[in-house]
Amino acid sequence: MPEPMGFYTDTTVCIGCKACEVACKEWNQLPATNGGRSKLSGDSYDNTRRLDGIHWRHVKFIEQFDAERRQGRWLMMSDVCKHCVRAGCLEVCPTGAIIRTEFDTVVIQSDVCNGCRDCIGACPFGVIDINPVSGTAQKCTLCYDRMRAGMTPACAQACPTASINFGPIRELKQKAQARVEQLHGRGERGAYLYGDDEKMLGGLNSFYLLVDKPEVYGLPPDPKMPTRNLKRGSLWSALGAVVVGVVGLISLRSRRDVNV
């Protein structure tokens, strides 16, 4: 069994070139929005806006300034499926289309998916959506086909600045820790890793180095599994069952009364 593999994305060196988006689409043969004739979004240089069934990589652009606009920075981040160790999508999939691979990554098998959309609501990151071509739920496979052939995923291969790093999770974590320390040493105290430890959904096999709060990047600060409500939900179910039972008993009794 190979060891867990994944991505470590260092957002501090992302230049927003979107080579990852294009490489992903080329390898996975994903169509463009409206055949390429899309609309200007008006939101910085981001015109694809989100991850969905035909955008498995997405580069976010965040423009930040101080009050007088003397200082500014342009944060860029290449977003992708997090390949959670405890994956909500996998948990809720009723057909078994979503599997955990030998690389500890999460893959949707298009030929098993029935397009029920349960996984779309279950993902706390909003990664999954229906691909209109196949009519099934789709997302990043971490280039499962390339990995099985011993190759690097297309996006990481195309990244010119090594913002997207691919490899065994164990090695990526060491690399990422060293980078955080380097940045702290240079005075960038805000640098931290998002999703590298088990507290977040058992660990994200695609984790990030960020320099601002998760919300700034459109990431949930504390993502939860869809099962998080299970306990409370089941209590309500039990209570509901009791109520139904009591009501039933009462109605039976009253019916009996009528019969008598």
Partner 1 sequence: MFQIVKRHFARYTPEMVERVTGCPRDTFLKVAETLLASSGADRTTSFAYAVAWTQHTNGPQIIGCAALLQLLLGNVGRPGAGIMALRGHASIQGSTDIPTLYHSIHGYMSHPSALKKHDTLANWLAAETSARGYWANTPKFMISYMKSMYGEAATRDNDFGYEWHPKIIGDHSHLPMFVAMNEGRVKGMLCIGQNPATSINALVERRGLGKLEWLVVKDNWVTETATFWKTAPEVKSGTVKLGDIKTEVFFFPSAQVAEYDGSFTNTQRMLQWHYKAAEPPGDCRSDLWFTHQLAKRLKQMYANSTAPRDAGFKALTWDFDPDPSLPHEPGEVPPTAGDPDGLKILKEINGYYSDEPTKHVASFGDLKDDGSTTCASWIYCGVFPAPGQNRSASRKADPPGTPGAQLGWGYAWPANRRIMYNRASADLNGRPWSERKKWVWWDGEQKKWVGLDVPDFAATKPPTAKANPDAIGLDGLSGTDPFIMKTDGKGWLYVPSGLVDGPLPTHYEPAESPVRNPLYKQQASPVYKYWKREDNALVQPGDSRFPIVITTYRLTEHYLAGAMSRFNPWLTELQPELFIEMSPELAAEKSIANLDWVRVSTPRSSIRAKALVTRRLRPFTIDGRVVHHVGMPWHWGYEGLVTGDVVNELTSLVADPNVSIHEGKAFVCNVEKV
Binding site for partner 1 (CB under 8 A): 15-18, 21-22, 25-26, 31-40, 42, 44-45, 47-48, 63, 65, 69-70, 72, 74
Q: Which is nearer to partner 1, 74 or 236 (CB)?
A: 74
Cβ closer to partner 1: 39 or 231?
39
* Least distance CB 174 / partner 1 (angstroms): 18
**Cα distances (angstroms) measured from residue 27 to each of 22, 30, 118, 127, 158:** 9, 8, 27, 19, 11
State the nearest-atom distance from the C-beta of 151 to partner 1, in Å.
18
Instruction: Provide, rounded to whole angstroms, the least separation between the CB of residue 158 and partner 1.
Output: 12
d(CA 99, CA 94): 12
Backbone torsions φ then ψ of 180, nearest 5 degrees = -60, -45
Q: Which is nearer to partner 1, 25 or 179 (CB)?
A: 25
Q: How far is the CB of 74 from partner 1 (least distance, A)?
A: 7
DSSP 95-106: SS-EEE-TTS-E
Q: Which two tokens stand for residue 92?
A: 């809720």
| Residues listed for the chain | 260
**Would you give the distance in Å from CA 79 to the centre of its chain?**
8
Question: Residue 204's beta-bridge partner residues?
Answer: 84
Cβ distance to partner 1 smaller for residue 19 or 137: 19
Taking CA atoms, 240 is separated from 92, 233, 255, in Å, by: 23, 10, 22
Nearer to partner 1, 66 or 257 (CB): 66
Q: How far is the CB of 35 from partner 1 (least distance, A)?
A: 6
